[in-house]
Amino acid sequence: MASPDPTVSTGDIARLGRVGRAAVSNWRRRHDDFPAPVAGTASNPRFALTEVEEWLRRNGKQYQLSLADRAWQRVQSGGEDLLVPARLAAAGALLLARKDPEAVALLPVAAEPTEPELERLLGELADSHSPAAAFEDLCARHRRRPGDPSDQLAAAMARIALPAGGSVFDPACGTGTLLLGAGARNAYGQEVDPVAAAIAAARVLLAGGGGEGSPVAVGDALRADAFPRREFDAVLCAPPVTDRAWPHEELAGDPRFAHGLPPRTEPELAWVQHALAHVRPGGRAVLRLPAAVAGRRPGRRIRANLLRAGALRAVLTVEDEAESRPADLWVLRRPAPGDPPPSVVLLARTDADGAAELWESFAEGRAVAGRAQAVPVVDMLDDDVDVSPERHLPRRAAADAGRAFTELRRRGPDGLPALRVSGDHAVRSGPTIGELARTGLLTVRHAPRDALTAGMGELPVLTVVDLANGTVPSGRTAPGPGMVRIRPRDVVGAAMGRARVADRAAVLGPGLTVYRMDPGQIDPEYLAGILRSTPAPAGGGSSRYGQRVRVPLLPIAEQRAHGAAFRGLLDAADAARAAADHAEALLRLGGEGLVEGWLRPE
């Protein structure tokens, strides 16, 4: 039951007064008579709505509180955020009863009773708009759960999956954002949270969707599939990404996992196969997944099987303003009997609005360019089976990057290598360092963690700091078992893309890796430049991430020319860093002398 005294947050007050949050903070600080918080926390205080309205009137502040505002404040009243979803579900049930009393029986769980004032406000809101519009207004004010897609992303996913309409299923539907984005006329879902399931079901039913029975079932779809053997025209899903306790062993042999049982650390690939099991042959599944799923090593076998079967059709890295970080859209198609497997997969970086247009161009056979590329399946079936766009696409448009580099070089120091912007280029590929090591073209050794006696002995030790600054080995150690020796012309690398060619013998310090090769086949400066200039994989970086770096095997003369250019850029950066350190020391020491009197102006 909601409290009779609605409360508002500072954000609500800002909306009421048509000002920014900073203005509300100023009011609280400058006006002693501003209402004191009545609930919430120090970082998220809540204020009595009646007291705030009185203060705004008393101080001549214009404000507007709509009927929807009053209804929402009633839903939030009391300030207990954990209770808001249940109150919102109850409001949905009440509004559904106004539209179709018999449909209330289709809700997956019984709703809580609502207090009379909220019932009155919801009735007026439904009369002035409609029950469906009234509930969508309230749902739009509800804070999205972590992982829920934005409305823009939901619309793009629906457009890709259902170009001609049809039935849609979301096996982890939350409050129904993807079901509503798909039109919700023939929409079904499953959700483990009963309250979220009730909100989703109310939204679908108010929008005129659903069929026999409830459109949304309660339960964990991996553990207890509520729609076994049922197929839909499309599946849309943004599965939970924090469930590392999914029943991996219990599901061994489950027919849904036609492409292989996912490792325990890859629950997202279980959701991918669950989605494919519920889409009709020829239908599409579109899932929003963390970027790391495209490249994590434990999932490579299943990614390879999806590629060979022709099920994985696109991976689109979407930069969405509503998201804290980019995520990937996986577009999958369940092959129909007799379909030949496609030879290319679309990889792209785009925004939410452009994702659907890009897919449509690719699906219709039109050329894609720029931040998109149709990558041959055979190029991805290597040791890593990395299907991330970051792995296969240029990091930025060549023309823009070329202009930026030209301007930086114009204002940069003397002695930079002579480089020109090429108008025709292609993304280069090649074997990974791990593959080169297995063929014997180079050896890779990592520094042992506990093999050195730091600070004692006569042997020089190259440290991570030495590598970063380009200085001589500064550590010392005594001879001992397990230590790794560096020779001149070895390449030494560390996490975060630091790498240099060694110019003297030393012992490899902790956190470093040494790469040794035949300089007649792989130029050391070329390899060091590639290690410095290749980003760590999406799955995260470590001191061993260099194993996955690809080395295009150019003719040795071209390698040496590139290596000289890489070294020239590094030398220029080292010189600039040394000049900056010199200037900082000069500033500090000169200021000290002027203050203490041992320096005077001439």
pLDDT at 418: 79
The whole-angstrom separation of Cα 275 and Cα 225 is 11
> Bridge partners of 218?
191
pLDDT at 443: 94
| Homologous superfamily in CATH for domain 144-172+221-392 | Vaccinia Virus protein VP39 (3.40.50.150)
CB-CB contact of 546 with 433 (8 Å): yes
| Sign of the C-alpha dihedral computed for residues 395, 399, 402 and 404 taken in this order | negative
pLDDT at 90: 92
The whole-angstrom separation of Cα 394 and Cα 533 is 12
What DSSP line would sit under 376-413, residue for residue? EHHHH-SSS----HHHHS-SS-HHHHHHHHHHHHHTS-
Closest CA to 541 of 497, 502, 510, 590: 497
pLDDT at 1: 40
The whole-angstrom separation of Cα 198 and Cα 173 is 11
The whole-angstrom separation of Cα 358 and Cα 366 is 10
CB-CB contact of 225 with 231 (8 Å): no
Torsion of CA 429, 435, 439, 440, to 10 degrees: 100
| Sign of the C-alpha dihedral computed for residues 417, 421, 424 and 426 taken in this order | positive
Every domain range in the chain assigned CATH 3.40.50.150? 144-172+221-392
Length reported for the chain: 602
Every domain range in the chain assigned CATH 3.90.220.20? 433-579
The whole-angstrom separation of Cα 187 and Cα 176 is 10
Low-confidence ranges of the chain (pLDDT < 70): 1-5, 64, 78-81, 146-147, 184, 210-212, 242-244, 321-324, 395-402, 423-428, 451, 453-455, 496, 536-545
Model-level pTM?
A: 0.73
pLDDT at 312: 97
State whether residue 74 is helix, strand or coil: helix
| Homologous superfamily in CATH for domain 433-579 | DNA methylase specificity domains (3.90.220.20)
State whether residue 103 is helix, strand or coil: helix
CB-CB contact of 279 with 334 (8 Å): yes
| Sign of the C-alpha dihedral computed for residues 141, 146, 150 and 155 taken in this order | negative
The whole-angstrom separation of Cα 453 and Cα 203 is 66
Pairing verdict, β 39-40 and 327-333: unpaired
Using CA atoms, how far residue 568 sits from 463, 495, 499, in Å, is: 23, 22, 14
Closest CA to 475 of 528, 512, 514, 445: 512
Using CA atoms, how far residue 227 sits from 216, 237, 274, 288, in Å, is: 10, 15, 11, 21
CB-CB contact of 360 with 367 (8 Å): no
